[in-house]
Amino acid sequence: ADAVVLGAKVTGYSQSLDGVSAQITHADGRVEDVAGTLLIGADGIHSKVRAQMHPQQPPIHWGGAIMWRGTVRAKPLRTGSSFVGLGTHRHRIVFYPISAPDADGLAEINWIAEVTVDPSHGWQQDGWFRPVEIADFAHHFADFRYDWLDVPAMLQGADCAYENPMIDRDPLETWVSGRVALMGDAAHPMYPTGSNGASQAIVDGRVLGAMMLEHGVTQDALAAYDAKLCAPISAVQLRNRGAGPFGLLNLLDARCGGVFDDIDAVIPPEERAEFMAGYKAAAGFAMEALNAAPPTIAPGARLG
């Protein structure tokens, strides 16, 4: 239980040949140096550890996308767990159920409404996350009415709505400096295009553990972790600034303005399959290879 200390913030670190020390400020104002063999900065997109490791890093990057997010009780569509994406990569709504339906057939639905604007004036709000009224943004989606779905009505029924700009940071050349490493969003904050930010943070932890089993709790373990993940995940960060799977909807929009009777006549099934296969290969969603691979850390493995 004493491994987790709440209400404490790392403000910086210092390291020597023998060890590393993290400067911690506690909630009551007490300042403490905590010494160790290695320091892993897992302190998110505003990471203090990263800021010290890379003092020249540019500020947070915002490409102009604004997301409004919330939940609503509604009937889940198609399979009952289908992910629905409507519009284009610059003007879209995405939603999917996050609960099983109740006896009344209604489930909790998570929705994300998004538009991309000119980012040249920078983000004008104070924070990165704030509650908003539905009326503040629903007009962008007034035309999203279909015989099978009324998006404005769905938004009106929402329990809550929050505004987030879509932000990330430029990739780093390295996540490691001697005895200090970054992981998760501290290492690679990325757009949620492939829904893979948190998943990658978990993979980082697994790979870091595997490297410690191989090299011990040493700087070599951190260097091996960096060598394995930093370059390929940096490429994913940049790729996530693109349209991802929404490229297919952009194509549909370009060919017919999104209005069609027969989807196969607009984008033939083979072309759709080829597009999605290309995205999955680029994003590393190699399901069969992953399922056939041995676990990153063998069950029961422990450091000696």
Ligand X SMILES: Cc1cc2nc3c(=O)[nH]c(=O)nc-3n(C[C@H](O)[C@H](O)[C@H](O)COP(=O)(O)OP(=O)(O)OC[C@H]3O[C@@H](n4cnc5c(N)ncnc54)[C@H](O)[C@@H]3O)c2cc1C
What residues from 119 to 178 belong to the interface with ligand X (CB under 6 A)?
164
Shortest reach from residue 169's CB to ligand X, in Å: 12
Q: Does 97 bind ligand X (CB under 6 A)?
A: no
Q: Please check whether residue 87 is in contact with residue 144, taking contact to mean a CB–CB distance below 8 angstroms.
A: yes
Q: Which region, judged by CB under 6 A, interacts with ligand X, from 92-100, 188-196, 234-242, 288-296?
A: 188-196
| Residue whose C-alpha is closest to residue 186's, from 61, 5, 53 | 53
Residues in the chain, how many? Answer: 304
Q: Is 244 in the site for ligand X (CB under 6 A)?
A: no
Select from 109, 185, 222, 225 the one that contacts ligand X (CB under 6 A).
185
- Residue 81 is a binding residue for ligand X (CB under 6 A): no
Query: What residues from 48 to 67 belong to the interface with ligand X (CB under 6 A)?
Result: 48, 67
Q: Where does 141-262 have alpha helices with state H?
A: 151-156, 197-215, 219-239, 247-256
Residue 283 interacts with ligand X (CB under 6 A)? no
CB of 143 to ligand X, least distance (A): 24
Is 41 within 8 Å of 10 (Cβ atoms)?
Answer: yes
Residue 284 in the binding site for ligand X (CB under 6 A): no
Contact between 84 and ligand X (CB under 6 A)? no
Phi/psi of residue 73, each to 5°? Answer: -90, 120
Residue 72 contacts by C-beta under 8 Å, 6 or more apart in sequence?
A: 108, 109, 111, 154, 155, 157, 158, 159
The binding site for ligand X (CB under 6 A) comprises: 9-10, 42-44, 46, 48, 67, 164, 184-186, 192, 195-199, 201
